[in-house]
Amino acid sequence: MGNVQKLDLWISHHRSQENKSQEKSYELTVEPNIKTKNLFYSRLYRFFILCLSNIFFSSMSWILHILRMGKPSF
């Protein structure tokens, strides 16, 4: 009876170790994906900010040009 309990205890311990290792491998597979997603969104955000600032400054230069010189004739 004692050997069966020891074997049962060993099996449950081994299973808990397997579950822990599976959780670690899951974290390792999920974590880089989250980092690349965050990197993608941060780059996308920077790109949009760059585009908006570019539009803003080009329109400001056009407005200043029109105020100084009058309307451009094409």
pLDDT digits (tens, 9 = 90+) for 14-62: 677 666 666 665 555 555 566 777 888 888 999 999 999 999 988 888 8
- pLDDT band for position 72 (cuts 50, 70, 90): low
Query: 39 and 52: one domain?
Result: yes
pLDDT at 49: 93
Stretch (H or E) spanning 5: helix 2-69
3 state SS of 74: coil
The whole domain housing 20 covers 1-30
Query: 56 and 40: one domain?
Result: yes
- Please tell me the total count of domains within the chain: 2
